[in-house]
Amino acid sequence: MAVLPSLATVADLATLLGRTFTPEQEAQAQALLDQASAVVRSYIRQDISRDTTTDTFTLRRVDPLLHRCAGAVTLPQRPVVDIDSVLVDGTATYDWWQEDNELLLRSWTWDLPPAAHRAPQITVTYTHGWDPVPGDIQAIVMQAANRVLVNPSGIRSEAVGGESVTYLIPTTGEYLGVLLSRTEKKVLDRYRRTAGSVRLRGR
């Protein structure tokens, strides 16, 4: 499986903060952006970045009159930019079309022996994701990384030389670190995958 890039760059973060990082700070910022990107991807269950994937799915039955096709596959990564190839049980087919993230096949040999009781396996190579990354996703990744840069110890307040110092931690007292707040999750919910096809194996 290919290693996906961070959803924001160190340069993006430096511009947001209006500062210049030392080499050591750049390395720390990159590590935190990598972690924040992984957290966001895990939450919404999407690669997000533009990428090409080959996956195999079990074709599902649909109502041929309602859907005008014999079967369908829901491609889990969104948005679907292009479908490069489709194989039915290892044989290439061009008898399909795309509707959003649905791959619809006009016909197949499900009811013919020897595969009368086995759903066809559909291998799809497709390009998906955003280029560039949506601004709200990028902003959340930088916010999550910056929380640790600002306050790596997770301290809300402390007395320093007789003065009280307050850190940028939510009023609930919850230390988020490279995690997501409830507000950030609400923003990300519009991108979140809630259901999909049965995937057998990935790239």
Low-confidence ranges of the chain (pLDDT < 70): 1-2, 64-67, 108-117, 151-177, 195-203
CA distances from 130 to 56, 73, 86, 191 (A): 22, 21, 22, 11
| Torsion sign over Cα 26, 32, 38, 40 | negative
- Tell me what pLDDT residue 182 has: 92
- Tell me what pLDDT residue 70 has: 78
Token pair for 166:
């307050």
* CB-based burial, 62-89: b 16+ in 10 Å, e otherwise: beeeeeebbbbbbbbbbebeebeebbbe
- Tell me what pLDDT residue 15 has: 95
The 10s digit of each residue's pLDDT in 63-102 is 766 667 878 999 999 999 999 999 999 999 999 999 999 9
- Tell me what pLDDT residue 198 has: 45
- Tell me what pLDDT residue 50 has: 97
- Tell me what pLDDT residue 195 has: 59
DSSP character string of 175-192: --SSS--HHHHHHHGGG-
- Tell me what pLDDT residue 84 has: 97
Q: Residue 61 burial by CB count (10 A; 0-12/13-18/19+): exposed, middle or buried?
A: exposed
- Tell me what pLDDT residue 2 has: 65
- Tell me what pLDDT residue 168 has: 47
